[in-house]
């Protein structure tokens, strides 16, 4: 499949699901298998937890992640002990996750692994850099769109997005939702020498003045905006939101006198949980939205089957998405483009 050749142009790739049951794990397994056919050395880690046989939320069966001999992987101590594989430990982190330290290991045979990786973006960035020391061709990161995750899949050079019938029961609705996420992935990057400093901020809203100095606005969350609107423009009109942004923030800013000069910065597209309507209203008023981390979307993979059992026309779905997005779209089971 052509997008495997595209993956080889990048040192790192995230596979991100727009919704549960859109085929993210199956897509990851497909890529792992195909890269093995290419005789490429790969490493794998995850944002959060993946590889369980049963979904922890829905309690439904889900595909497990299987790796082969030679693959380097990073997971927590808890899940390393549960691995169904023989492996050699290469490194143990000094930092702790909720599930223990991170173990970097190399598989000595084939088997299944549950992945639980770095707990935040800065750490994930460090892990990716460290994995380069093991003569790796491509690093794969299992990611997700989640309000709870503090790790960003956009730290990788490239990304594959999975979407499908679990997101919408009709093709038109599915295409619109996916196209909006595509628009967010392609937001302009905020280019500055303070990007790493901003990435390290774990909470609150911060202002950036004309000298690129960062100021704490003493607003802990966008949920507290109503009581703190007078603080927003205290140091200028460029504001960094360390967590997620919602319709509430865009609505508050849209009606401000300084909206035409306002730039909101977020860590990456996965931190944006706004409706297309509120986003359009904010942008049309002159507001700007930028990201610290920008990645290259190289393909979309679809799962036309929903957990409830209804099935969309795979060929039509791939065609409509390809027409809307202008990038390759695949169903890895039917291999449609």
The mean per-residue pLDDT over the stretch 223-233 comes to 76
Q: 147-200, pLDDT tens digit by residue?
A: 556 668 888 999 999 999 999 989 999 999 999 999 999 999 999 999 999 999
Ranking 68-77, 126-135, 242-251, 326-335 by mean pLDDT, the lowest is 326-335
More confident residue, 2 or 243: 243
pLDDT at position 290: 98
Q: Judging by DSSP bridges, how do beta strands 205-208 and 214-219 pair with one another?
A: antiparallel
Q: 79-128, pLDDT tens digit by residue?
A: 999 999 999 999 999 999 989 999 999 999 999 999 999 988 889 999 99
User: How far is Cα 293 from Cα 158, in angstroms, rounded to an integer?
Assistant: 11
Q: Go through the domains of the chain in sequence order and give each one's CATH number.
A: 2-186+294-330 (3.40.50), 195-291 (3.40.140)
pLDDT at position 2: 72
pLDDT at position 336: 56
Average pLDDT, the chain: 89
More confident residue, 173 or 307: 173
pLDDT at position 224: 67
Which backbone phi and psi does 289 adopt, to 5 degrees? -135, 125
The mean per-residue pLDDT over the stretch 34-60 comes to 73
Structure token pair of residue 244: 């997620």
Task: Say whether pLDDT at 58 is over 80.
Answer: no
Q: How confident is the model at residue 47 (pLDDT cuts 50, 70, 90)?
A: confident
Q: End-to-end CA distance of the chain, in Å?
A: 10
User: How far is Cα 334 from Cα 317, in angstroms, rounded to an integer?
Assistant: 12
Task: Say whether pLDDT at 143 is over 60.
Answer: yes
> What whole-number percentage of the chain has pLDDT above 70?
91
Mapping DSSP to helix (H, G, I), strand (E, B) and coil, where does residue 210 land?
Answer: coil
pLDDT at position 63: 60
Q: How many helices (H) does the chain have, and how many strands (E)? A: 9, 20
pLDDT at position 149: 62
pLDDT at position 212: 94
User: How far is Cα 197 from Cα 134, in angstroms, rounded to an integer?
Assistant: 28
Structure token pair of residue 291: 């990201």
User: How far is Cα 249 from Cα 255, in angstroms, rounded to an integer?
Assistant: 11
pLDDT at position 62: 53
pLDDT at position 180: 97
Structure token pair of residue 2: 């052509």
User: How far is Cα 166 from Cα 304, in angstroms, rounded to an integer?
Assistant: 8
* CA nearest neighbour of 65 among 32, 106, 22, 16: 32
């Amino acid at each position: 499949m052509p997008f495997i050749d595209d993956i080889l142009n990048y040192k790192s790739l995230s596979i991100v699901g727009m919704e549960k049951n859109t085929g993210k794990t199956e897509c990851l397994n497909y890529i792992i298998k195909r890269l093995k056919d290419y005789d490429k050395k790969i490493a794998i880690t995850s944002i959060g937890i993946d590889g369980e046989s049963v979904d922890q939320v829905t309690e439904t069966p889900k595909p497990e992640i299987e790796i082969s001999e030679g693959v380097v992987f990073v997971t927590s101590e808890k899940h390393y002990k549960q691995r169904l594989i023989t492996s050699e430990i290469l490194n143990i982190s000094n930092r702790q996750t909720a599930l223990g330290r991170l173990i970097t290991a190399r598989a000595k045979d084939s088997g299944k692994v549950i992945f639980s990786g770095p707990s935040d973006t800065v750490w994930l960035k460090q892990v990716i850099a460290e994995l380069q020391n093991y003569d790796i061709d491509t690093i794969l990161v299992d990611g997700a769109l989640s309000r709870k995750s503090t790790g960003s899949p956009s730290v990788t050079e490239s990304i594959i997005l999975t979407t499908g019938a679990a997101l919408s029961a009709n093709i038109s609705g599915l295409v619109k939702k996916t196209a909006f996420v595509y628009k967010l992935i392609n937001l302009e990057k905020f280019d500055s020498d303070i990007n790493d400093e901003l990435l390290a901020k774990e909470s609150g809203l911060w202002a950036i003045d004309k000298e690129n100095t960062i100021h704490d606005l003493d607003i802990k969350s966008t949920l507290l905006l109503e009581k703190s609107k007078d603080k927003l423009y205290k140091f200028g009109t460029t504001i960094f939101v360390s967590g997620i942004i919602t319709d509430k923030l865009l609505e508050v800013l849209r009606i401000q006198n300084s909206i035409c000069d306002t730039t909101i910065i977020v860590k990456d597209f996965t931190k944006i949980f706004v409706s297309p309507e509120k986003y359009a209203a904010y942008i049309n008023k002159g507001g700007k939205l930028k990201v610290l981390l920008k990645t290259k979307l190289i393909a979309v993979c679809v799962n036309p089957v929903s957990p409830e059992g209804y099935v969309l026309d795979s060929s039509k779905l791939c065609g409509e998405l390809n027409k809307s997005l202008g990038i390759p779209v695949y169903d890895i089971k039917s291999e449609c483009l």
